[in-house]
Amino acid sequence: MGLRKLLTAFGKTTAFAALGRALVPADRVMLRVTGGRLGVGTPLGLPTLLLTTIGRTSGEPRQVPLLYVERDGGYVVIGSNWGGEKQPAWSANLIAQPEATVSTRGRTTPVRGRLLEGDERQEMWDAVARYWPAYDTYAVRAAHREIRVFLLSPR
């Protein structure tokens, strides 16, 4: 079994979700230190960006590493929270204040986040799930909520 297939199979497990949650702080630091060039998943072929939003209650900058797929000149990110019960805080921050920044591949870009809905959401979901099939597993775990999909467009 190839590395990509093995990683995809592992990505669908609850063990991966637990590991992913535990690695978020390390991923955040690694992305910050490398200017968005390297995340924990980068050597495994998982493109990661560092999203900086403004906390909706604190007003303070909040950073989170996210997998992404480039589409329509921007970045598509998924609020899967590994299939957890709640929507991730960064997604609520982005809805409250759509202006944010993305650091990836050594550059920081101001972006505007837009929550996708309907057919547009489904099209982007399909594109991202083709790249990282574990998202479909997360959707099953989070069946009580619709996982948010955002397009982050450069501004």
- 131 pLDDT band (50/70/90 cuts)? confident
Q: What is the mean pLDDT of residues 40-63?
A: 86
The predicted model scores a pTM of 0.80
pLDDT band at 145 (very low <50, low <70, confident <90, very high): very high
Residue 28's pLDDT is 67
Stretch 31-37: mean pLDDT, rounded? 73
d(CA 19, CA 11): 10
- Given a cut of 80, whether residue 66 has pLDDT beyond it is yes
Other C-beta atoms closer than 10 Å to the C-beta of 81 total 22
- For residue range 86-100, what is the model confidence (pLDDT) as tens digits? 899 999 999 999 999
Q: Which of 114, 107, 39, 19 is nearest to 71 (CA)?
A: 114
pLDDT (average), residues 121-128: 92
**Looking at the predicted structure, is the pLDDT value of residue 1 above 60?**
no
Distances (CA, A) of 126 to 54, 57, 59, 129, 144: 28, 32, 33, 5, 20
Judged by average pLDDT, the poorest of 16-20, 28-32, 62-66 is: 16-20
Mean pLDDT over each residue of the chain, to the nearest integer: 83
What number is the average pLDDT over the span 79-86? Answer: 81
Most confidently modeled range among 19-28, 63-72, 115-124 = 115-124
Q: Following DSSP, what letter does each residue of 59-83 receive, concatenated?
A: -SEEEEEEE-EEETTEEEEEE-GGG
